[in-house]
Each structure stands twice: as structure tokens, then as C-alpha cells.
A and B are shown apart, each in its own frame.
Chain A
Amino acid sequence: MTAATGYNFAYLDDQTKRMIRRAILKAVAVPGYQVPFGSREMPLPYGWGTGGIQVTASVIGPDDRLKVIDQGADDTTNAVSIRRFFARTAGVATTDRTEEATIIQTRHRIPETPLAEGQILVYQVPIPEPLRWLEPRETETRRMHALADYGAMHVKLYEDVARFGRIATTYDYPVMVNGRYLMRPSPIPKFDNPKMHMNPALQLFGAGREKRIYAVPPFTEVRSLDFEDHPFAVQSWDQSCALCGSTESFLDEVVTDDKGGRMYVCSDTDYCGRRRDRKEAAE
């Protein structure tokens, strides 16, 4: 029992944690495969990170240091709410610093600061099934994964090329993991896809409402789908960050007035803040 009286360490009871831990181990053993698990109701709504929270709650211990981001930022309301949840129910240390964290729970971004061995990145996943928009039935998509029958996804992407002259998918861009399973990376921008490939950190994905857990072990091949004549490419900007001057990070567009004024700032607040600190220190 912890500070938040009457609840277990990290909220979940031990039996639930064991069940989730077993699912995580199987997910690691079969990279990219979605393991069904007995997702529980959490005190936060479905679609707001219940999968990521259950994974984090099952992995986290008193020695961990947790970072939570949403849209790359530590200070967005949902990130604050989830960080507080763990500070309250597990009493663990929290941090904004990417390199200090042992566990990073994220929604929609991978930090700009490269991850290291020993770190765990936990993704919140709304829809885990990469084939869902092509085939709404679970019974069908399960069969397609069993047969590695992913032709439909290639056709879909090629229709983009035929119509737009390029693949028009910009986020939640499908990847092949370890050459076997088609996987949704969760709605991260495709800008982040290359970071998944051969990443030294363990990447865990939790979908609470859809009751699935999947994983990419460290140093695992993660290839974004593409075509020889239309290779995968990430977004880039002409602008640099208006705050830290970075030309290498993912930029959010901020509308500054109603006359078309806009500026671009780093989506990763820790990365941006650290760069500004270093600039100040240098001046």
C-alpha cells in the first residue's frame, strides 16, 4: 500500500500485473505480434492511455524514474495527469529529462534525444491493428497476420502513389518488424519511424481498450513500408525552431495571430529546453 491509501503499488493488483507481465514477455519473444491481454478498467478513460498506463504499472518499480510525454511535451494536460497518477500510486521519481528516465511513457512522439540501452519506451496505442481500416473484422485480420498476408496494405499505399504521386500517410505509418509482422507504430509522425529501427531501448506498446500488448525488443529491424520508386522519406521543414534554433527536430506550428502569422517550435519540450539552456550558458 502506498501514499494513495487503499490501493496497491502502481494501482494494479498483483494478479493483474502478473497477467500483463506474462503478456509483455510473449510480446518481446514475438516482436510486432499483438498479444491479447485481460485489460482492466483504469481510473482514466479508455483512449486516454489506459494501455500504456497498465504496461507502465506492471513494469515500474520503486527504483525507476518516470518521464511522461504527450505530443513530445511533458507539460500537456494528459501527460501531467498520467505522471501524477504514478507519482501518487507508486511514489516513484519523475523527470522531464529524457536521458535520466528509465521508463518513458509517450503518446504520439519518440523523444529527439537518442534513447539508451536499459531504457523502456511505453507507447499509448489507440488502435493496435495495422490492417483495421482495410479490414474491420478481428477474425479476418488475425488470419491475415497468421499468413503474413499484407498485400492489402501495399495496395493501399500504392493507391496513394497513383493518386497523389507519393505515399500520403503522414503518421501512424505502418512498419514491418523483424521482417515478419506488420505493426502500427501508434500515431507518431512518420518523422519518428526511423528512430524505432535498431533502437537500443526496449519499446512496449499498450492498447487498453483494444486489449493488446506488443513490443519491439532493442536492436530490432523496423522497416517503414515503401516502394523502390517511392522510398520512405520523413517530413522536414524550411524553418528552424523559433526558440532553440534546431533544424533537426519535429516542429509544431503555432498560430500567432489571425493574419496568417505563424511560427515553428520544437514539439519535444525537453530537447528544446536543454538546447536553450546550453545556448544561454554559452553566452
Chain B
Amino acid sequence: MAMTAAADSGLHPGFADPGLDSQRVFRAVLEAMARPGTIVGLPARAAGPAPLDAATTAILLALADYETPVWLDGAADQPQVAGYLRFHCGCPLTADPKAAAFAVIAAPMGMPPLSAFNLGSDEYPDRSTTVIVQVATLTEGAPWELGGPGIRDGARLAAGGFPPGFRRWVADNHELFPCGVDLVFTCGDALTALPRSTRLEG
């Protein structure tokens, strides 16, 4: 019934069980971040507003709140998205990518370079932005060979739908280590992550 009421008011519902669903989604993100390139299915979902993918919506519901300014790209910056995040997460929205704890890229082709976001500092590298990029595919793109923490012998990620030069941005971001942003790629109800510690081989 809550669903109907929410739909009537134009507001999409959040998690059915906010506490436990948040925990499950966090574990999925943790798994992705700890094993870069691994594609993880979404364990709990909420029907968020377009153009957010289910995975993007779930990550924000699980991790964003009034302590985390969220930056939305032009495609995501819609009234229904802003209203949804303010209502369910209580998070402030920011126009300044350097102030963002989370950034949401719904249209990667027009996204700013990764260096536009908060890269953290040498003393506090943890203060960098986590950039959530909704990609066209996690499996059909040009494959990247990955190495670094979380990867035993080598991993491969074939995400696609990036702007030109994106691979260079990712490589440059890794060069900044321990500074740099952390990337989460979402597609429908699947996600994967490339923390700054991951290097692109070859």
C-alpha cells in the first residue's frame, strides 16, 4: 500500500527494509571494491526515478545521507531525482564536484574528467569522491586487464560506453595514489568497482 501512496504523490519508494537492504547492498559494494572488476549482482533493489539505474539508486540509498553531499551530472539532475534523494537519503545536493562525497554520472559521454572531483589530499586521501558511473555495458566493452590489491593473478573488465580518453583518466587517477577518486560502474542491477588502487595493465 505504501507503494501506491508513494506513486500517487509522485515519489518513488525506497528500500522495503531500509536497515537490512542497506546492509546487503553495502556488502555488494564492498565485494566489488575489494575485488576490482568482479561483477556483483544487486541483492536488494528499490524502484528509483529515471534516469537512475536500480544499482545506482540502491547504492545511494545504502550509503548517502545528510553527511554526504551528492553531485549529479546534467542527465541525472532532474527534479524527480533530487526530490527522491532528498526524501529518502536526506543528502545535500551540490553543484561543486570537488565538494561531492558521491557523484552520479547518468550520461558518461558528457561527463567531466575524473580530476574535476575531490581527489583527497596526501594527508587525508579518504576524503575523495566516490564516482558512480552508469555505463552501457559491463561485459560487452573493450576489455581492460586489471592488477593490484584484490586481484590474484589478473582480472578483466569489459565495461563500455565511456567518453574518449576515459581509460587515460583512469590510469592517471591511479598514478595519483594514495589520492584519487574511486569508481563504481553500474548497469541495470549489476555493479563493479575500480578503486584508485587498481592499475590498468598493458
Interface residues of A (CB under 8 A from B): 8-9, 14-15, 17-19, 21-31, 33, 35-36, 58-62, 142-143, 145-147, 178, 180-181, 198, 200, 202, 216-221
Interface residues of B (CB under 8 A from A): 18-20, 22-24, 26-27, 29-30, 33-35, 62-65, 67-68, 101, 121-126, 128, 130, 148-152, 177-178, 182, 195-197
Report chain A residues within 8 Å CB of B22. Answer: 14, 17-18
Question: Which residue of chain B lies nearest to A60 when distances are taken between CB atoms in the complex?
Answer: B23
Whether A202 and B34, one on each chain, are in contact in the complex, defined by CB atoms closer than 8 angstroms, is yes
Report chain A residues within 8 Å CB of B122. Answer: 146-147
Report chain B residues within 8 Å CB of A147. Answer: 122
A181 CB to nearest chain B CB (Å): 7
The contact of B63 among A22, A145, A180, A200, by CB within 8 Å, is: A22
Whether B19 and A9, one on each chain, are in contact in the complex, defined by CB atoms closer than 8 angstroms, is yes
Question: Which residue of chain B lies nearest to A13 when distances are taken between CB atoms in the complex?
Answer: B19
Given A24-B30, A218-B35, A220-B150, check contact A62 B20 (CB 8 Å).
yes
Whether B150 and A25, one on each chain, are in contact in the complex, defined by CB atoms closer than 8 angstroms, is no
Whether A178 and B197, one on each chain, are in contact in the complex, defined by CB atoms closer than 8 angstroms, is yes
Whether A21 and B26, one on each chain, are in contact in the complex, defined by CB atoms closer than 8 angstroms, is yes
Once the chains are docked, how many angstroms separate the CA of A181 from the CA of B126? 14
Report chain B residues within 8 Å CB of A181. Answer: 178
Question: Which residue of chain B lies nearest to A1 when distances are taken between CB atoms in the complex?
Answer: B19
Report chain B residues within 8 Å CB of A18. Answer: 22, 62-65
A61 CB to nearest chain B CB (Å): 5
Once the chains are docked, how many angstroms separate the CA of A180 from the CA of B122? 12
Inter-chain CB contacts under 8 Å: number: 109
Report chain B residues within 8 Å CB of A221. Answer: 149
The contact of B29 among A25, A36, A62, A202, by CB within 8 Å, is: A25
Whether A25 and B19, one on each chain, are in contact in the complex, defined by CB atoms closer than 8 angstroms, is no
Whether B178 and A180, one on each chain, are in contact in the complex, defined by CB atoms closer than 8 angstroms, is yes
The contact of A25 among B123, B130, B151, by CB within 8 Å, is: B130
Once the chains are docked, how many angstroms separate the CA of A180 from the CA of B177? 9
The contact of B27 among A27, A61, A198, A217, by CB within 8 Å, is: A61
B70 CB to nearest chain A CB (Å): 13
Once the chains are docked, how many angstroms separate the CA of A28 from the CA of B125? 12
Once the chains are docked, how many angstroms separate the CA of A123 from the CA of B120? 26
A56 CB to nearest chain B CB (Å): 12
Report chain B residues within 8 Å CB of A19. Answer: 67
Report chain A residues within 8 Å CB of B149. Answer: 31, 178, 216-221
Report chain A residues within 8 Å CB of B68. Answer: 22
Given A178-B197, A181-B178, check contact A219 B150 (CB 8 Å).
yes
Question: Which residue of chain A lies nearest to B150 when distances are taken between CB atoms in the complex?
Answer: A217
Question: Which residue of chain A lies nearest to B26 when distances are taken between CB atoms in the complex?
Answer: A21
Whether B196 and A30, one on each chain, are in contact in the complex, defined by CB atoms closer than 8 angstroms, is yes
Whether A202 and B30, one on each chain, are in contact in the complex, defined by CB atoms closer than 8 angstroms, is yes
30 contacts between A and B (CB under 8 A): A9-B19, A14-B22, A18-B22, A24-B30, A25-B33, A26-B125, A26-B126, A27-B126, A28-B30, A29-B33, A29-B195, A31-B149, A36-B124, A36-B126, A61-B24, A61-B27, A62-B20, A143-B123, A146-B122, A147-B122, A178-B148, A178-B149, A181-B178, A202-B30, A202-B34, A217-B150, A217-B197, A218-B149, A219-B149, A221-B149
